[in-house]
Amino acid sequence: MLEPARASGGRPGLPVWAVGSLLRAIADSLEARFNPVVVQGEISSFTRAASGHCYFTLKDEQGQIRCALFRRAASLLDFAPRDGQLVEVRGRLGVYEPRGELQLVAESLKRAGEGNLFERFLQLKARLEAEGLFDAGRKRPLPLMPRAIGVVTSLGAAALHDVLSTLRRRVPHTPVVVYPASVQGAQAAAELQAALRQAYERGEVDVLLLVRGGGAMEDLWSFNDEVLARLIVQSPMPLVCGVGHETDFTIADFCADVRAPTPTAAAELAAAPQATWLGALDLMQERLEEGLARQLETAQQRLDRAAGRLGQPSHLVTREQARLTLLAQRLSHGSALGLERRGVDLERRGQALPRLRDRALAAQAQRLDQARLRLELLDPSLVLQRGYAWLTDQDGRALTRAAQAEPGQPLVATLSDGQLDLQVLGRRP
* Tens of pLDDT, residues 22-37: 777 777 777 767 778 8
Cβ count within 10 A of residue 221: 20
Angle (CA) 95-97-102 rounded to 5° is 30
Residues 6+ apart with CB under 8 A from 187: none
Alpha carbon of residue 221 to chain centroid: 12
Q: Closest Cα to residue 342, out of 269, 282, 392, 252?
A: 282
Query: How many Cα atoms sit within 13 Å of 113 on the Cβ side?
Result: 8
Distance CA 252, CA 238 (A): 13
Statement: residue 189 has pLDDT above 80:
yes
272 residue type, one letter:
A
Q: Counting beta carbons within 10 angstroms of the beta carbon of residue 60, is it exposed (0 to 12), middle (13 to 18) or buried (19 or more)? A: middle
167-199 b/e with 16+ CB inside 10 Å = b? beebbeebbbbbbbbbbbeeebbebbbebbeeb
Q: Which of 128-132, 286-290, 380-384 has the highest mean pLDDT?
A: 128-132
Q: Does domain 34-114 have CATH number 2.40.50.140?
A: yes
Q: Compute and round to an integer the Cα radius of gyration of the chain.
A: 36
Residue 278: count of CB within 10 angstroms of its CB: 11
Verify cis geometry, omega within 30 degrees of 0, for the bond prior to 36. Answer: yes
Sign of the four-CA dihedral 94, 97, 100, 106: negative
Q: pTM value?
A: 0.46
Structure confidence at residue 178 as a pLDDT band (50, 70, 90): very high
Domain boundaries, the chain: 34-114, 119-270, 274-377, 384-423
Inter-residue long-range contacts of 269-272, CB under 8 Å, 24+ positions, other chains counted: 269/142, 269/240, 270/142, 270/146, 270/149, 270/167, 270/207, 270/209, 270/240, 271/146, 271/149, 271/166, 271/167, 271/170, 271/171, 271/174, 272/144, 272/145, 272/170, 272/171
- Strands 239-243 and 207-212 turn out to be parallel
Which residues contact residue 159 at a Cβ distance below 8 angstroms, ignoring those fewer than 6 apart?
153, 183, 211, 212, 213, 242, 263
34-114 and 119-270: identical CATH topology: no
Confidence grade of residue 1 (pLDDT, cut at 50, 70, 90): very low
Q: How confident is the model at residue 321 (pLDDT cuts 50, 70, 90)?
A: confident
Q: What percent of the chain has pLDDT over 90?
A: 28
φ, ψ at 416 (rounded to 5°): -70, -25
The yes-or-no verdict on residue 405 having pLDDT over 60 is: yes
Domain 119-270 fold is Rossmann fold (3.40.50)
Mean pLDDT of 88-98: 83
Type of residue at 323 = R
